[in-house]
Amino acid sequence: MQTNTSMNKKTGRSFENAFASKFAKSMFLSVSAIVILSFIATRMFTHVDLNLYGYMVGTIVFIGGFFYRFIAWGERPPTKIFIKQGLKLLKRKSTPKTAVNHLAIYDFIKNRGLYRWVQHILIGWGCVLACLVTFPLVFGWMYFTMDDNGHYTIVLMGINLMTVKADGIIAWLSYNALNIAAIMVTAGVCMALHRRLKNMQARAEQKFIYDFLPLYLLLFISITGLLLTVQNVFLHGWMQPQMSLIHQFSVIVTLIYLPFGKLAHIPFRPVSVFARNYREHFAEHEEKKCKVCGDHFVSVEQSNDVIQVLGVNAIEFNMEDGFNLAELCLPCRRKYRISRFSGFATHQVKVKEANQNAKG
């Protein structure tokens, strides 16, 4: 029994040592999985659309960038803690509800206003719909074959899924799924741009490269995609090859840029469920009281984890008053910092900030 266990450990180490880093291993496994799935889905590569080759290259580069960014972020001590705890807590009864609130209906954004919620719903679900259509087509996981009787056969993972009329509602939705996604993204992006240009606070906080460029890229992709349909339906294909290249180039550039800019929060979003479970689970056990005002603000576990992480990074916030700064709630923490400069014990003043319970 011990021999088998030691052999398994050696095999696991040998596999780990075969790669230069976690990034290399993740990239190898991901690309291998894509190739295997494409081999099965395209019936041994007999149904490959070479017109989508550029999108395939851009997607693979995106996957590499995503793993590089995610692994670098995941190796940080704070991230390690809540990912590790979050994985253990996935079996919580509240996990499905949390996943729906954070990943489907964006309930947490409603506190910031209905306008911003609608904006995020349009952009978020428009992008998800576009990905659900584009990636299966790019890698050959889904394609269509045309019969002589005016019917399409939808093929999914190499299996004939269903046959639909060429002029039926299912076929129409299939043809126009990307157009619907483009309209949703265009509307959401226009709402976001309007808010950021008109709202003075938003204008003061925004930067062109980080905040506006991602929106312009999404808008450009959506408009060029819609123009392809306009050219095909109303202009009999005039200038469609040129517009197709422009659209493909814009998608590839955005895919390459996505892991390194603000849009990276889209593929990172599922991890928010881990963080939520982590906070809620330990808050149910015991909450931490602020050392100054006595209000409960986080769980004891989270407060201890923060102190531990700061210690790992050789950052100590042990104050002369006998407590760690992480043991204060946010309002008292801000007041305490002011007291260190002013010499007046502002953190002991029993007056709450005007915006302490503000939403958003």
User: Do 49 and 186 fall into the same domain?
Assistant: yes
142 SS3 class? strand
Same domain, residue pair 315 and 221: no
8 Å CB contact between 335 and 319 = no
316 and 183 within one domain: no
Number of domains comprising the chain: 2
Q: What CA–CA distance (Å, rounded) separates 40 from 141?
A: 8
Structural domain ending residue among the three candidates 241, 258, 275 = 258
Asked if the structure places residue 354 within a domain, the reply is no
Instruction: State the average pLDDT for the chain.
Output: 83
Is 27 part of a structural domain of the chain? yes
User: Which of 258, 278, 297 is the endpoint of a domain?
Assistant: 258
Same domain flag for 239 and 300 = no
What are the E-state strand segments in 36-179?
142-146, 151-156, 159-165
DSSP 318: B
The residue type at 57: V
Quickly tell me which residue has 């972020």 as its tokens.
73
pLDDT at 295: 85
pLDDT value for 11: 54
Q: How many CB atoms lie within 10 A of CB 82?
A: 20
Q: Residue 359's pLDDT is what?
A: 47
Question: Helix or strand or coil: residue 288?
Answer: strand
Q: Determine, yes or no, domain membership for 326.
A: yes
DSSP 295: -
The beta-carbon contacts of 320-325 under 8 Å, at least 24 apart in sequence, are 321/291, 323/291
Give the end of a domain, one of 258, 277, 298: 258
Parent domain of 119 = 20-258
Domain shared by 229 and 308, yes or no: no
- How do residues 153-171 score in pLDDT, each as one tens digit? 888 888 888 888 888 898 8
Judge if 75 and 195 occupy the same domain.
yes
Residues of the chain with pLDDT under 70: 1-13, 15, 343-360
Q: Do residues 124 and 160 both lie within one domain?
A: yes
- Domain shared by 24 and 172, yes or no: yes
**Domain-located, residue 356:** no
Look at residue 3 and tell me if it is in a domain: no
Asked, for residue 263, whether it belongs to a domain, the answer is no
12 within a domain of the structure (yes/no) = no
Distance (Å) of CA 238 to CA 50, 123, 228, 231, 234: 22, 30, 10, 6, 9
Tokens 């040592």, residue? Answer: 17
Same domain? 297 vs 242? no
Q: Are residues 84 and 138 in the same domain?
A: yes
Residues shown for the chain: 360
- 213 lies in the same domain as 304: no
Please report the pLDDT score of residue 49 as a whole number.
Answer: 81
Number of neighbouring beta carbons within 10 Å of residue 62: 18
Same domain, 327 and 218: no
Q: What is the pTM of this model?
A: 0.79
Q: Evaluate whether residue 253 is within a structural domain.
A: yes
